Structure 1
Amino acid sequence: MALLFAALRVVLGLFFVVTGAVKLTDQISGDAYRQMKSQFVQFADVFPLKEFGYKPEPDQYREVVGWIEVVAGLLLTFGPQLLQELSNFVLSIIMIGAIYTLLVLKESIAMCAPTTVCLGLLLLLNIRGRGKSAKPKFE
C-alpha cells in the first residue's frame, strides 16, 4: 500500500510540474499556453482577494501560479517528507482557489472535475500521511 501512495505522490507531483510549466512557457503546448493566458484574464477578475481591493495582473498571476505548481510539484515528487507535506498543503490551497474561481465563473462540471480530482488526491495523500504518523505504537 505504501508503494501505491508513493507512486500517486510521484505522478501527482509530476502532473503539477507539467501543468505549472504549461502556464510558464509555450514550448510544451502553444495552444494550452494561449488558453491559460486567456483564462487567467477571467481568473484575475474573480480573484478572491478582489473584495479587499487587490486584483492581480493576469500574466503575473499566471506566472506566480505556474512557478508555485512547478516548485511544489518537484518537492512533492522528490523532496523530503516535511517538504512533501508542505508542498501538498500549498498545492491544496491552490486547488481550493481554483475551484472557487471556477464556481464563481459558473464553469461546467467538466471544467471543475480535474481540479476537484487533484484536490481529492492531495487530501488523500495528506490524510494517509497523517494517519500513518498518528497510529499509536504498542511496544
Structure 2
Amino acid sequence: MALILCALRVLLGVFFVLTGAAKLLQVSAPVSQQMKALFEQFAEVFPLKLFGYQPDPINYQTAVGWLELLAGLLLVTGPPVLRELGNLLLILLMMGAIFTLVVLRESLRTYIPAVVCLGLLLLLDTFQFLARTKEVVPPGALSNPGT
C-alpha cells in the first residue's frame, strides 16, 4: 500500500509541476493565446470579486502556475509536513478550479480533469492521514484492558 501511495504522490506531483510550468512558460503562440483567454474568463468570476478584488489575468495565470509548480515539487520531494502542505494547497486550488467552472457554466466534460485531480488528492490525503494515525496509535492501544 505504501508503494501505491508513493507512486500516486509522485504522479500527481509531476502532473502539477508540468501543468504549472506550462502556465509559466510560453510554449507556443496559439497555446499561450488560448491560456490567456481562459484566464481572462477566470478573472471575471474570481471569488474575491464580490469584495472588490479582481486579479489581472496575466498575474492570475502566473500565480496559479507558480502555485502548481511549487506545490507539485513539495508533493514529490518535500519532507512529510511539506508534502501535506503541498497537497492541501493543490486541494484548495482544485476546489477553486471547480468553483470557477461552475460559475462559468462550462460543460460537464471540462470538469473531469479538476474533479479527478481533486478526488486523487483527497484520496492521497486520507490515506496519508490514516497512515499517520496508525503510527501514532499502536494496534491494541485502544482495547479495553478490563475485558
TM-score normalised by structure 1 residue count: 0.95
Equivalent residues of 1:26, 1:34 under 8 A apart: no
Equivalent residues of 1:92, 1:119 under 8 A apart: yes
Q: Tell me by how many angstroms 1:117 deviates.
A: 0.3
Provide Cα deviations, 1:37-93, integer angstroms capped at 9, x if missing partner: 110000000000100111000000000000010011011011111100000000110
**Unaligned stretches of 5+ in structure 2?**
141-147
Distance 1:91 1:126 in 2: 11
Which residue of structure 1 aligns with residue 101 of structure 2? 102
Which residue of structure 2 aligns with residue 137 of structure 1? 138
Which residue of structure 2 aligns with residue 69 of structure 1? 68
Which residue of structure 2 aligns with residue 112 of structure 1? 111
More deviation in 78-87 or 129-138?
129-138
Equivalent residues of 1:5, 1:125 under 8 A apart: yes
Q: Tell me by how many angstroms 1:138 deviates.
A: 3.2
Distance 1:89 1:118 in 2: 12
Aligned residue runs from structure 1 range 1-139, under 5 A: 1-27=1-27, 30-135=29-134, 136-138=137-139
Distance 1:31 1:60 in 2: 19
Provide Cα deviations, 1:88-137, integer angstroms capped at 9, x if missing partner: 00011010000000000001111001001000000001000111111230
Higher Rg of the two aligned structures: 2
Q: Tell me by how many angstroms 1:35 deviates.
A: 1.9
Equivalent residues of 1:9, 1:76 under 8 A apart: yes
Q: Tell me by how many angstroms 1:32 deviates.
A: 3.3
- RMSD of Structure 2 on Structure 1 (CA): 1.2
Distance 1:3 1:32 in 2: 36
SS of 2:65 mapped into structure 1: helix
